[in-house]
């Protein structure tokens, strides 16, 4: 063992007298229920029982003695194990003591440094009139209607209404889509579509190949090639509504355009404040971690690496991507999470220590509110959510996260948050 790890190896011994008492007790228990030819149940001599069931008695004795001895030593040394002790090098001889080694990981011991009145800097973000107008125009775009165009071919700025079939190059099942609107000549439209559909008329059929760049936003298409068969069914032109009070009423609960502008600014400012708060908390944790040097249990780091990998998989699934179909070296990706996982574990250990130092805990009311929040997403009652989490062994994890979040909020309230112009630190 080295001081730079959380691994502990205990060389332990159980006195021969204690071992003998345990063996005799277990042998008497065997004698009460054992069936031995030539003897009525429970009447066989204990000495015969000890010979006939020697290995079974020895095994039960070890199962009884070893955990108790480990717990005694762990308590005496004030350790907090985070893994189940692994036992080896067992020396168990008739009439003698039991010697063995127990190997496990513990929570690290460290001195808590300064954590109050920390100072961190976040980027100041000003909500400009131009950004408010941009948001307003985005609402206007979403409220636009599409009018059919007749008597001319597709031109830049038009929306070609198409039915298409895409076949992966190199083999694979084709995919059909109908009623797709393709914005010709737009920045977000792949050049191959604009080039092949520009000048087309309703009823035209076009065939062409498309190679998607490796950094294409949709991971189902990124870096792949497809052959498209496209039927143009119509041409549409986007009609933007007037920028007036009527638009404000259509897209919001505001009565006037100026009121809508005010609401948009308020929402954008709230989003900015939330972003700055999250950034400040992230930097507070990073500052705490950097100021404390202590080892962390490998088991907790491995678990956190799994958590980070599962997060990536859930993000892919949310985008409609089957993680099994993605060409990713998952082992390498998991390995690259190690450094961040170590920081995550350190941060959690620090928050736990600070919570204890400051008497921060989670009330039953706060737990109930969180359960109601979870129940709202799953369509079950708060009681059912509690029961489910308890069965899954996840209720304690939920409480621990609530406590960590509450502690981080306390740190934020007791910190000095400075703002600086964007791009400066």
CATH code, domain carrying 98: 3.30.70.1050
The pLDDT of 188-214, averaged and rounded, is 93
Residue 244 lies inside a defined structural domain of this protein? no
Q: Which of 105, 121, 153 is the last residue of a domain?
A: 105
Residue 110 lies inside a defined structural domain of this protein? no
CA distance 210 to 175: 14
Q: 275 with 415, same domain? A: yes
Q: 417 with 307, same domain? A: yes
Q: What tens digit of pLDDT does each residue of 86-97 get?
A: 999 999 988 899
pLDDT given at position 159: 95
Q: 187 with 285, same domain? A: no
Q: 271 with 205, same domain? A: no
CA distance 96 to 88: 18
Residue 1 has pLDDT above 50, yes or no: no
Q: 314 with 166, same domain? A: no
Q: 258 with 400, same domain? A: yes
Residue 218's contacts (CB-CB under 8 Å, 6 or more residues apart) are 212, 319
Residue 216 has pLDDT above 90, yes or no: no
CA distance 301 to 306: 9
- Domain hosting residue 60, numbered range: 7-105
Residue 132 lies inside a defined structural domain of this protein? no
The pLDDT of 97-123, averaged and rounded, is 94
CB atoms within 10 A of CB 351: 23
Crossing angle of the two packed helices 338-358 and 298-318, in degrees rounded to 10: 110
- Which has the closest alpha carbon to 140: 248, 54, 44? 248
pLDDT given at position 318: 82
Q: What tens digit of pLDDT does each residue of 224-266 get?
A: 899 999 999 999 999 999 999 999 999 999 999 999 999 999 9
Residue 321 has pLDDT above 80, yes or no: no
Q: 364 with 222, same domain? A: no
Residue 395 lies inside a defined structural domain of this protein? yes
Q: 414 with 291, same domain? A: yes
H or E element in which residue 178 lies: strand 175-183
Residue 194 has pLDDT above 70, yes or no: yes
Residue 367 lies inside a defined structural domain of this protein? yes
- Which has the closest alpha carbon to 363: 409, 403, 413, 412? 403
Q: How confident is the model at residue 119 (pLDDT cuts 50, 70, 90)?
A: very high
**118-132, 202-216, 306-320: the lowest-pLDDT one:** 306-320
pLDDT given at position 51: 76
CATH number at residue 336: 1.10.3120.10
Q: 214 with 273, same domain? A: no
Per the CB < 8 A criterion, the answer to whether 232 and 201 are in contact is yes
H or E element in which residue 410 lies: helix 395-413
The pLDDT of 304-333, averaged and rounded, is 84
Mean per-residue pLDDT over the chain, rounded: 90
Residue 308 lies inside a defined structural domain of this protein? yes
- Which has the closest alpha carbon to 82: 387, 270, 348, 378? 348
pLDDT given at position 53: 79
Q: How confident is the model at residue 33 (pLDDT cuts 50, 70, 90)?
A: low
pLDDT given at position 327: 74
Q: 200 with 323, same domain? A: no
Residue 177 has pLDDT above 60, yes or no: yes
CA distance 342 to 330: 19
Residue 59 lies inside a defined structural domain of this protein? yes
Q: 235 with 264, same domain? A: no
Q: How far is CA 47 from CA 20, 80, 261, in A?
A: 13, 41, 93
Q: How confident is the model at residue 136 (pLDDT cuts 50, 70, 90)?
A: very high
The pLDDT of 360-385, averaged and rounded, is 90
Q: Which of 187, 207, 239 is the last residue of a domain?
A: 239
Q: 258 with 232, same domain? A: no
3-state helix, strand, coil in the chain (%, to 5): 50, 20, 30
- Which has the closest alpha carbon to 229: 208, 252, 204, 203? 208
Q: How many domains does the chain have?
A: 3
pLDDT given at position 2: 40
pLDDT given at position 224: 87
Q: Which of 78, 105, 132 is the last residue of a domain?
A: 105
The two three-digit tokens of residue 223, written as one number = 């870096």
Residue 62 lies inside a defined structural domain of this protein? yes
CATH number at residue 193: 3.10.50.40
CA distance 107 to 74: 12
In 1-150, alpha helices (H)? 16-33, 46-52, 54-76, 129-142
Q: What tens digit of pLDDT does each residue of 233-244 get?
A: 999 999 999 999
């Amino acid at each position: 063992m080295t001081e730079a790890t959380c691994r502990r190896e205990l060389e332990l011994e159980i006195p021969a007298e204690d071992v003998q008492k345990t063996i005799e007790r277990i042998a008497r228990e065997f004698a009460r229920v054992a069936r031995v030819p030539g003897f009525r149940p429970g009447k066989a001599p204990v000495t015969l029982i000890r010979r006939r069931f020697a290995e079974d008695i020895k095994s039960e004795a070890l199962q009884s003695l070893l955990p108790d001895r480990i717990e005694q030593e762990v308590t005496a040394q004030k350790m907090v194990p985070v893994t189940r002790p692994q036992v080896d090098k067992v020396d168990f001889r008739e009439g003698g003591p039991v010697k063995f080694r127990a190997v496990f990981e513990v929570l690290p011991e460290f001195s808590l440094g300064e954590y109050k009145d920390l100072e961190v800097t976040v980027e100041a973000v000003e909500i400009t009139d131009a950004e408010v107008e941009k948001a307003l125009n985005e609402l206007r775009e979403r409220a636009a209607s599409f009018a059919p165009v007749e008597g001319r071919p597709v031109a830049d700025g038009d929306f070609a209404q198409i039915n298409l079939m895409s076949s992966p190059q190199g083999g694979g099942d084709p995919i059909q889509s109908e009623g797709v609107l393709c914005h010709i000549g737009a920045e977000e439209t792949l050049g191959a579509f604009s080039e092949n559909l520009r000048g087309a008329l309703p009823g035209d059929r076009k065939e062409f190949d498309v190679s998607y760049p490796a950094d294409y936003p949709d991971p189902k298409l990124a870096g792949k090639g497809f052959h498209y068969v496209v039927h143009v069914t119509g041409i549409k032109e986007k009609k933007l509504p007037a920028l007036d009070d009527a638009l404000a009423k259509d897209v919001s609960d505001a009565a006037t355009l100026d009121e809508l502008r005010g609401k948009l600014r308020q929402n954008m400012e709230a989003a900015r404040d939330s972003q700055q708060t999250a950034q400040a908390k992230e930097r507070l944790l990073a500052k705490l971690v950097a100021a404390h040097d202590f080892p962390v249990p490998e088991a907790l780091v491995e678990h956190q690496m799994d958590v980070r990998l599962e997060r990536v998989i859930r993000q892919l699934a949310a985008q409609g991507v089957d993680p099994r179909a993605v060409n990713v070296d998952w082992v390498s990706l998991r390995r690259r999470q190690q450094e961040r996982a170590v920081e995550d574990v350190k941060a959690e250990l620090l928050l736990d220590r600070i919570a204890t130092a400051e008497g921060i805990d989670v009330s039953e009311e706060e737990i109930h509110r969180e359960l109601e929040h979870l129940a709202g997403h799953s369509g079950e009652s708060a009681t059912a959510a509690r029961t489910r989490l308890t069965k899954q062994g996840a209720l304690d994890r939920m409480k621990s996260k609530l406590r960590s979040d509450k502690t981080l909020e306390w740190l934020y309230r007791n910190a000095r948050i400075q703002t600086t112009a964007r791009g400066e630190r």
